[in-house]
Amino acid sequence: MAYDIATIPGDGIGVEVVEAARPLLELSADDAGCAIEWTEYDWGTERYLETGGMMPEDGLDRLADHDAILLGAVGHPDVPDHVTLRGLMLPIRKTFDQQICKRPAVLYEGVESPLRGYDSESDDGDIDFVVFRENTEGEYADVGGRAHVGFDHEVAVQSAVYTRTGTEAIVRAAFEEAKRREQRVTNVTKSNAQAYGMVMWDEIVEEVAAEFPNVTVDRLLVDAASMDLIRRPDEFDVIVASNLFGDILTDIGAIVTGSMGLAPSANINREGAYPSMFEPVHGSAPDIEGEGVANPLATVLSGAMLFEHLDERDAADSLHRAVEEQLADPEAPRTPDLGGHGTTADVITDLRDRL
């Protein structure tokens, strides 16, 4: 089986980590008896600065027929983020109806959490949860506008939009995942202050929960959830959250499990009508761009999620195994975000040997 995968390396370290990860994905595919055919799209802010478009007019059409998309990151210090992200990454999530954003947070053996008492060697300090983030609407619905621009009475309206179908889809996906895990869902909400959207959200969680009698469900307000992800991260299993809340909580998830450079992500189109997209949680990290020290593991693990999505379990497992082995090996190279002195290339070469 040969898969037709689009890559959009994008900007900054996005380019570095995608280039680094690609040969490893090819190798693990090969070992598993399948193959990857890449189509690379050099879209991003360089293109925007040259042509005025982050991607060509027909960019989404060109992506639509691929089996999946591997994205690096988008964002450049010279162009405002709302221009670059709304010109490339956000339209892909929305147009391809990638409603389900799945973001695991795992404290691997050999990795140190910045939290006291949390290391992967002690049983009760084990962090392993997954955030199901609604991915195409909510606070990111892009509904609103500005009026009286430049005047004292200037006004900006940014509306959050929650549909019943969109909310049900993410909540059901979270409960289905909980059935495969420890049967616990935490609903992260803000229905104490947001009496329309978040109250409907909570009602839908209750309705869906009734279909899963063996799954226990807790409700946490997002402010308290942010605290508890620092105070007791080991107690979470599956978290379901709106688009913005999920965005924020997954950066917390990344850092309590060691680094932004380790956190993978899947943007899933449930029906398979359009390709799903896999990308690290982190951004283009202009502060370390060009230094050759970006941690490629979040992208490699996103590649493993891509293989899982394609039902290529062996390829996914071999990538996971290689990453786990590397992190557990005190002699193995690691990048500075994990306290090491290694480069992106050192980490990849070591992984290649393990594969």
- Catalytic residue numbers read 140, 190, 223, 247, 251
Q: Considering the complex, what minimum distance in angstroms separates the CB of residue 282 from Mn ion?
A: 8
By CB under 6 A, name the one of 243, 295, 318, 326 that touches ligand NAD: 295
Joined together, the tokens standing for residue 41 give: 């799209």
Q: List the interface residues with ligand NAD, window 218-277 (CB under 6 A).
A: 260-261
Residue sitting closest to ligand IPM (CB) = 247
Residues 6+ apart with CB under 8 A from 155: 146, 147, 148
User: Are 14 and 84 spatial neighbours (Cβ–Cβ below 8 Å)?
Assistant: no
Q: Is 74 in the site for ligand NAD (CB under 6 A)?
A: yes
Q: Is 279 in the site for ligand NAD (CB under 6 A)?
A: yes
The identity of residue 345, as a single letter, is A
Q: List the interface residues with Mn ion, window 246-305 (CB under 5 A).
A: 247
Q: Is 337 in the site for Mn ion (CB under 5 A)?
A: no
Q: Please report, for the chain, how many H helices and E strands are present, in that order.
A: 12, 12
By a kind-dependent CB cut-off of 5 to 8 A, residue 57 interacts, out of Mn ion, ligand IPM, ligand NAD, none, with: none
Looking at the Cβ atoms of 94 and 172, the one nearer to ligand NAD is 94
Which residue has tokens 């949860």?
129
d(CA 157, CA 185) in angstroms, rounded, equals 33
Cα distances (angstroms) measured from residue 210 to each of 130, 139, 203: 21, 27, 11
Nearest 10 degrees: Cα torsion 207, 210, 214, 216:
40
Q: Considering the complex, what minimum distance in angstroms separates the CB of residue 293 from ligand IPM?
A: 21
Looking at the Cβ atoms of 22 and 103, the one nearer to Mn ion is 103
Burial of 19 from C-beta contacts in 10 A (0-12 / 13-18 / 19+) = middle
Q: Considering the complex, what minimum distance in angstroms separates the CB of residue 214 from ligand IPM?
A: 31
Q: List the interface residues with ligand NAD, window 162-221 (CB under 6 A).
A: none
Q: Which stretch binds ligand NAD (CB under 6 A): 129-137, 238-246, 267-275, 278-286?
A: 278-286
User: Are 272 and 217 spatial neighbours (Cβ–Cβ below 8 Å)?
Assistant: no
Q: Considering the complex, what minimum distance in angstroms separates the CB of residue 252 from Mn ion?
A: 11
Looking at the Cβ atoms of 28 and 295, the one nearer to ligand NAD is 295
Q: Considering the complex, what minimum distance in angstroms separates the CB of residue 283 from ligand IPM?
A: 6
Number of CB atoms found within 10 A of residue 156's CB? 10
User: Are 120 and 109 spatial neighbours (Cβ–Cβ below 8 Å)?
Assistant: yes
By CB under 6 A, name the one of 21, 36, 73, 215 that touches ligand NAD: 73
**Which chain residues interact with ligand IPM by CB under 6 A?**
85, 247, 281, 283
d(CA 269, CA 255) in angstroms, rounded, equals 27
Q: Is 81 in the site for ligand NAD (CB under 6 A)?
A: yes
Look at residues 134, 198, 196 and name the one whose alpha carbon lies nearest to residue 171: 134
Q: Which stretch binds Mn ion (CB under 5 A): 39-47, 94-102, 242-250, 324-332?
A: 242-250
Looking at the Cβ atoms of 13 and 185, the one nearer to ligand NAD is 13
d(CA 13, CA 284) in angstroms, rounded, equals 5
Beta strands in the chain (DSSP E): 2-10, 35-40, 68-73, 100-106, 128-134, 138-147, 155-161, 184-189, 216-221, 238-241, 264-268, 276-280
By a kind-dependent CB cut-off of 5 to 8 A, residue 125 interacts, out of ligand IPM, Mn ion, ligand NAD, none, with: none
Q: Considering the complex, what minimum distance in angstroms separates the CB of residue 251 from Mn ion?
A: 6
Q: Is 289 in the site for ligand NAD (CB under 6 A)?
A: no
Using DSSP bridges, classify how beta strands 276-280 and 68-73 pair: parallel, antiparallel or unpaired: parallel
Residues that bind ligand NAD (CB under 6 A): 13, 17, 73-75, 81, 85, 89, 260-261, 279, 282-288, 294-295, 298, 335, 337
Residues that bind Mn ion (CB under 5 A): 247
